[in-house]
Amino acid sequence: SDLVLSPLFQWGRGETHKDRYVAFFPFYGKMKSKLSWGEINFFLFPLYVDWSHKEFKARSILWPFFVWGSSDIRSEVRVFPFYSQKRHIAKFEHTTLLWPFIQWGKDFLDKKEPTSYSFFFPFYNIKSSLYGNMESRAFIWFPILGSLVGYGYDRKTSEVNYNFLFFLIQYGYSNNRDYRKHIFFPFYGYSRFASKE
């Protein structure tokens, strides 16, 4: 059972001593099964906090700036914004230097075709799959605006996309999904997406 006077006070108890907790945020406390974690402990948050889920345990001083944690299959280190690294064996590997400017990593390492990415803001953003069935590249990229020049393809869906001058000129197609996009902003625009199934 739980009693919550959010966000200041939380109290809980269960059948065993391990299920009992009390937290008076942000001064001191312990929470169980909250925010997708098995246990969260804190003291004068964000001065100190630690959390765990199964075998993974992590700690932070002045969260989110200094973080470290590990288990047999997972590790995480962060000295924000200078460096961070997150690894999960057979799942992903992510590294960042001078966030958000330099990032690289690998995802879906447990799938048939893992992907990798490299990001050097704002100059280029590249993502590709191991066997070359998917790739996207963007040059001079900004949030919301998109990229000065960009292209990408996905052989699984036979989709191809190009853009020039950020969002002003866009061209894309896919024969499998009956997808077409032709945009020359603000003079002309055509977009169609229809499933053939």
Distance CA 111, CA 168 (A): 36
pTM over 0.85: no
Distance CA 109, CA 90 (A): 5
The model's pLDDT over 142-177, given as tens digits with 9 standing for 90+, comes to: 999 999 999 999 998 899 999 999 999 999 999 777
Distance CA 172, CA 9 (A): 53
Least confident of 7-11, 67-71, 108-112, 181-185: 7-11
The model's pLDDT over 98-150, given as tens digits with 9 standing for 90+, comes to: 999 999 999 999 999 999 999 999 999 999 999 999 999 999 999 999 999 99
The pLDDT of residue 197: 55
